[in-house]
Amino acid sequence: MATQISRRTRLWLALSASTMLLSACGSDSDDNSTPPEAQAPDAAQVTAEISTKQVTLSWDDVDGATEYRVYRDLDGSSGYEPISEDITTSEFAYPLAAHLTDWDDVRFQVEACNSAGCTPSEDIYIDGAAIDAIGYLKADTPQDKSAYGFAMAISDDGSTLAVGSPRYDAGNNVDAGAVYLYSKTDSGWSQTGRIDNPASDGGDGDLFGYAVDLSADGSQLLVTAPYEDGGSAGVNSANDDEPIRNSGAAYLFTQSGSAWQQTAYFKASNPDPNDFYGIRATINSDATRVAISAPFEASNAAGVNGDQGNNDIELAGAVYVYQLSDSWAQEAYIKPSFPSWPDSPCFDPMPPGIECDEASPSRFGYGLAFDDSGNTLAIGAPGENSADGQINGNQSDFKAKSAGAAYILRFANNSWQHTAYIKASNPSIDDEFGYALALSGDGNTLAVSAPHEDSNLTGVHPSPIPNDTADLDVPFNEDGEPDSGAAYVFSFDGSDWSQVRYIKAEATDEDDLFGWSVQLNSDGTTLAIGVPREDSEETGISDDWGNSSAPAAGAAYVYQYSDTDNWALSSYLKAINTDANDTFGRTLTLSGNGETLAVAATGEDSSQVDAPANEDGEDSGAIYLY
């Protein structure tokens, strides 16, 4: 008789069999064994490659790693901080501000990670590679003696660069001028366009590109042509009047896709021969205000919107401000707060230490800068003659020919008003304080240069007159290094301006012209200063400024502000192909965050576009990106 096995019994038998089988299979091992614990991956083997303004870290995939993390230590002692996590590739590109990098000590580290933990790589140093991080730009078809780089401007984000070449020859039109446009993409910098002189007559001799400026987003470009001969006046005039030689003009261009279209044409409201309207120009961040100077304009007026109908003082200078509402219109005609005088009186007897020199007119407008809003305007007048070294001091003290001054104007209650008269604390004859200046985005930090200042001091000081001369390497002499140059930093606290720093080159030398160009970043914490006649033969980023083997090769200095150190030197910059008479530092421009710096060498001689491989293009010029 067959035995009937219930469903429950069959299940019990199956489970019992499985248990016996498992017991038999595992009879020689520990019944309590556990799988091995997961382990962190091995360290990645990392290499670093330096290219223009970038370091690329690369490594082979590590077995077991699910992600990678990159860390940076800025000075080799502050400790690592993360700059990117959750990286699943084996490469990471990190942007470098070459002029702000501590090349000797900065280090990187890559961690290979999984669920069990992370393993750091060895420290990766990039010392000795600074020169590879410096970019090099030329015109697409370099021209000899074209003054390429004579003027420059960069967008706030550092991705659009405009370069003026005012002696560019367009066919038979000699010195017609042009402006080159460059853009930064993921693949690097490239030329994206060139704007030729738009004058209907070809612009022979106009020097289009003498001054340039960009709006914050880089979509609006202001270009001047101070030798233009148009006879019209005002904005967007027909220009069919009799020519006025060297009256000057300015143009506004708007980017439309890959093209640039002219949207405005500016002339002085009182054009005259040889006023050279357009020597300087500036545009505010959102391109709603434009200021254009004519430092050779000759009216004897003072203040704002005075009489512009005379020519009583040659080279007195003027600044014209325009505002965009529905259309562009002139908003103000600005002169110094005290009228420029053509001659300096001589006193009998003369005050001690004061020479009887014929004064120079102000040349009001040689320095020019807006803040971001366009409601604060700084104007330099390097020919101003007062010997009073006080802010808001005596403007009628005509005892120091071309000592120079700067003026601050603010727009309030629907009008422009002079609010401050700025002097160097050590005004001296022919220093030309105000030749170049820069203003921070909020309008509260001002840098002003005096490229012909003569002191033999070096470095950064609270004052031009040292408190303790015992620590100086050489005896202090206010006139010890003629035309060595200086720069001054001023700060506004909401009610008053004060001079906070006096800056000289680290190797002060006669005729270097330290301060020929100056630039501040938006928050006023990074300052770049050009020294186009500096003589060192060094290349790249260096600290050897003591030799004089390459006359007028040029240099640039970068300073940074901190709450602890105030202003201190960050870097000393040279070209990658330093050569005598290249005048590196003649012009420079700084992005809003200060992390992109472009420096021009208008006398550079290479004819090759992508590398300085020869010297076959005399004074064709070059731009260097840091």
Question: What CATH number did the domain enclosing 193 receive?
Answer: 2.130.10.130
DSSP class of residue 18? H
**What is the model's pLDDT at position 60?**
97
For residue 14, tell me if it sits in a domain. no
Tokens of 232: 């019209």
**What is the model's pLDDT at position 14?**
36
**What is the model's pLDDT at position 209?**
99
pLDDT band at 134 (very low <50, low <70, confident <90, very high): very high
* 127 shares its domain with 143: no
Question: What CATH number did the domain enclosing 60 receive?
Answer: 2.60.40.10
Whether the pLDDT of residue 453 is over 90: the answer is: yes
**What is the model's pLDDT at position 345?**
46
**What is the model's pLDDT at position 559?**
99
Percent of the chain with pLDDT over 90: 83
CA 305 – CA 332 distance, rounded (Å):
6
Tokens of 264: 């405005």
**What is the model's pLDDT at position 21?**
32
For residue 536, tell me if it sits in a domain. yes
* 192 shares its domain with 337: yes
For residue 15, tell me if it sits in a domain. no
For residue 37, tell me if it sits in a domain. no
**What is the model's pLDDT at position 398?**
85
**What is the model's pLDDT at position 212?**
99
CB contact at 8 A, 590 and 571: no
Whether the pLDDT of residue 3 is over 60: the answer is: no
* 142 shares its domain with 127: no
* 315 shares its domain with 426: yes
**In which region does residue 446 sit, left (phi positive, over 0), alpha (psi from -120 to 50) or beta (all else)?**
beta
For residue 602, tell me if it sits in a domain. yes
Whether the pLDDT of residue 12 is over 50: the answer is: no
**What is the model's pLDDT at position 563?**
84
CA 596 – CA 609 distance, rounded (Å):
21
pLDDT band at 258 (very low <50, low <70, confident <90, very high): confident
**Residue appearing with tokens 């070809």:** 202
Whether the pLDDT of residue 2 is over 50: the answer is: no
Whether the pLDDT of residue 356 is over 70: the answer is: no
CB contact at 8 A, 621 and 598: no
Whether the pLDDT of residue 370 is over 80: the answer is: yes
Q: If 0-12 CB within 10 Å is exposed, 13-18 middle and 19+ buried, where does residue 425 land? A: middle
Percent of the chain with pLDDT over 70: 90
**What is the model's pLDDT at position 37?**
81
CA 160 – CA 192 distance, rounded (Å):
10
For residue 22, tell me if it sits in a domain. no
For residue 11, tell me if it sits in a domain. no
Domain ends where: 97, 131, 165? Answer: 131
Average pLDDT of every residue of the chain: 91
Radius of gyration, CA atoms only, the chain: 32
Whether the pLDDT of residue 150 is over 60: the answer is: yes
Whether the pLDDT of residue 207 is over 90: the answer is: yes
Whether the pLDDT of residue 542 is over 90: the answer is: yes
* 100 shares its domain with 151: no
* 352 shares its domain with 463: yes
Which of 100-104, 288-292, 546-550, 617-621 is the least confident region?
546-550
* 532 shares its domain with 551: yes
Contacts of 522 (CB under 8 A, 6+ apart): 156, 372, 440, 441, 592, 593, 594
Mean pLDDT, range 240-248, rounded to an integer: 89
Mean pLDDT, range 138-167, rounded to an integer: 98
**What is the model's pLDDT at position 463?**
80
CA 281 – CA 289 distance, rounded (Å):
11
**What is the model's pLDDT at position 470?**
55
Domain count, the chain: 2
**What is the model's pLDDT at position 7?**
34
pLDDT band at 147 (very low <50, low <70, confident <90, very high): very high
Question: One-letter amino acid identity for 562?
Answer: S
CA 602 – CA 619 distance, rounded (Å):
6
**What is the model's pLDDT at position 238?**
83
Mean pLDDT, range 189-208, rounded to an integer: 96
What DSSP assignment string belongs to 489-505? EEEE-SS-EEEEEEE--
For residue 21, tell me if it sits in a domain. no
pLDDT band at 165 (very low <50, low <70, confident <90, very high): very high
Domain that holds residue 96: 46-131
Name the phi and psi angles at 265, rounded to 5: -135, 120
For residue range 74-90, list pLDDT tens digits in order: 999 999 999 999 999 99
Mean pLDDT, range 544-552, rounded to an integer: 92
* 98 shares its domain with 247: no
Name the phi and psi angles at 168, rounded to 5: -65, 135
Nearest of 292, 291, 441, 288 to residue 371 by alpha carbon: 441
* 436 shares its domain with 366: yes
Tokens of 576: 């990658």
* 432 shares its domain with 397: yes
Domain ends where: 131, 151, 180? Answer: 131
**What is the model's pLDDT at position 55?**
98
pLDDT band at 564 (very low <50, low <70, confident <90, very high): confident
For residue range 404-439, list pLDDT tens digits in order: 999 999 999 999 999 999 999 999 999 999 999 999
**What is the model's pLDDT at position 344?**
45
pLDDT band at 38 (very low <50, low <70, confident <90, very high): confident
Q: If 0-12 CB within 10 Å is exposed, 13-18 middle and 19+ buried, where does residue 532 land? A: buried
Q: Determine if the peptide bond prior to 349 is cis (ω within 30°).
A: yes
**What is the model's pLDDT at position 15?**
32
Which of 230-234, 386-390, 609-613 is the least confident region?
609-613
Mean pLDDT, range 531-541, rounded to an integer: 98
CB contact at 8 A, 253 and 198: no
Whether the pLDDT of residue 18 is over 70: the answer is: no
For residue range 468-490, list pLDDT tens digits in order: 565 666 778 889 999 999 999 99
pLDDT band at 214 (very low <50, low <70, confident <90, very high): very high
For residue range 44-54, list pLDDT tens digits in order: 999 999 999 99
Whether the pLDDT of residue 202 is over 90: the answer is: yes
For residue range 337-352, list pLDDT tens digits in order: 998 766 544 444 444 5
* 83 shares its domain with 196: no
**What is the model's pLDDT at position 397?**
85
Neighbour count for residue 7 (Cβ, 10 Å):
6
* 555 shares its domain with 606: yes
Give rounded-to-5 percent helix, strand, coil for the chain: 5, 40, 60
Domain ends where: 131, 163, 195? Answer: 131
